Amino acid sequence: MGTAVITGAGRGLGRATAIRLAADGHRIVAVDLDGEAAERTAAAVGGEARRCDVADWASVDALAASLESCDVLVNNAGIWHFHSLLETTPESVAAVLGVNVVGVLLCSRALAPKMIAAGGGSIVNLASAAAWTNSPGTGIYPATKAAVISLTKQMAIEWGEHGIRANAVGPGLIVTEGTADRHSGDRSRERSRNIPLRRVGEPRDIADVVSFLASDAARYVTGQTIFVDGGITAGRAAL
C-alpha cells in the first residue's frame, strides 16, 4: 500500500475516507483548508497533515512539492451555496466552481505526474447524486458535480495509458458536519421515506466504496461513477 492523499480530510466524508484507507494500509496525507482539522485527522490515523486551498494554484503546487509520492488521490473537498439561480452572485459562482471543479483539476494535474513516475495510481473524485437528480434552490452545485463526472472521464482517457484509473463516487444524502443542519429529526425521517433503502447515509457508506475504487479489486474499472445513494438516482421510493 502506498500514500493516499485526501482533500477535505478534516471532517465529514474526507475524514471517514482517511480512516478507512488507513485501515486498508495506506499512509495518509490529510489535506484541508482548515489546517487544525487536517492535523486532527492525521493524528487519528498516524498520517501527515497539510493545510492547502485546493482552489488556489500556488497552494496546490506547494502541496505537490511537499510530497514524495502519491498512489491514491481522493478529491473530496467540496462546498455548496444553496440558493436559486436568480439569486446567484459572481462571488458564489467563483467560489463553488473554484473548489468543486477547478480544485479537482488542480490537485489531479499536480499529483498525476507522481503516479505516472510510479507506473500508475488511482484517483477518486467526489461527485454527487445531485449531478443526476437536480433539486430547486441548489444553484450551480449540481452543475459542478456533473462537471466532476465529465472531468473524471477525461482523466481516465488521458491518463489510462500511464496506469492511472480515475473514477467518481456520487453520494446521496449523507449526514456530515457539513449537512447536519439539513438532517434534523423530522426532515430526515421525511427524506428517508423517499429513499429506496429508507435511510439517509453515513460517511462510512461512502468511504467503503472509495476504498474499493482505490484498491486492486477495481483494477479494470476506470472512467466510472458509482452512485452511493441508497437508490436515490434510481427514482423516488414513494409518490
Ligand X SMILES: NC(=O)c1ccc[n+]([C@@H]2O[C@H](COP(=O)([O-])OP(=O)(O)OC[C@H]3O[C@@H](n4cnc5c(N)ncnc54)[C@H](O)[C@@H]3O)[C@@H](O)[C@H]2O)c1
3-state secondary structure of 120: coil
Segment interacting with ligand X, rule: CB under 6 A, options 29-37, 105-113, 155-163, 213-221 = 29-37
Question: Could you give the maximum distance between any two Cα atoms of the chain, in Å?
Answer: 53
**Residue 151 C-beta: closest distance to ligand X, Å:** 13
* Contacts (Cβ under 8 Å, ≥6 apart) of 123: 72, 73, 74, 75, 108, 112, 115, 152, 155, 164, 165, 166, 167
Length of the chain counted residue by residue? 239
By CB under 6 A, tell whether 222 contacts ligand X: no
141 is catalytic: yes
Distance separating alpha carbons of residues 1 and 215, to the nearest angstrom: 9
By CB under 6 A, tell whether 41 contacts ligand X: no
Distance separating alpha carbons of residues 226 and 152, to the nearest angstrom: 12
| Binding residue (CB under 6 A) for ligand X from 6, 22, 53, 121 | 53
Catalytic one of 141, 151, 166, 176: 141
By CB under 6 A, tell whether 10 contacts ligand X: yes
What radius of gyration do the chain's Cα atoms show? 17
Q: Would you say 1 or 94 has its CB closer to ligand X?
A: 94
Distance separating alpha carbons of residues 191 and 120, to the nearest angstrom: 41
Segment interacting with ligand X, rule: CB under 6 A, options 53-61, 63-71, 108-116, 160-168 = 53-61
**Residue 163 C-beta: closest distance to ligand X, Å:** 26
By CB under 6 A, tell whether 77 contacts ligand X: yes
- The count of other CB atoms within 10 Å of the CB of residue 150 is 14
CB 189 within 8 A of CB 47: no
By CB under 6 A, tell whether 33 contacts ligand X: yes
Q: Would you say 36 or 87 has its CB closer to ligand X?
A: 36
Q: Would you say 53 or 71 has its CB closer to ligand X?
A: 53
Q: Would you say 74 or 115 has its CB closer to ligand X?
A: 74
Q: Would you say 12 or 121 has its CB closer to ligand X?
A: 12
- Beta-bridged to residue 121, according to DSSP, are 164
By CB under 6 A, tell whether 171 contacts ligand X: yes
| Binding residue (CB under 6 A) for ligand X from 30, 96, 174, 195 | 174
- Locate all alpha helices (DSSP H) within the chain, ordered by sequence: 12-23, 35-45, 57-65, 90-97, 103-118, 141-159, 185-193, 203-214
Residue with cell 482517511: 18
CB 10 within 8 A of CB 41: yes
By CB under 6 A, tell whether 14 contacts ligand X: yes
Binding site for ligand X (CB under 6 A): 7-8, 10-14, 32-34, 37, 52-55, 76-79, 99, 103, 126, 128, 171, 173-174, 176-179
Q: Catalytic positions, please? A: 141
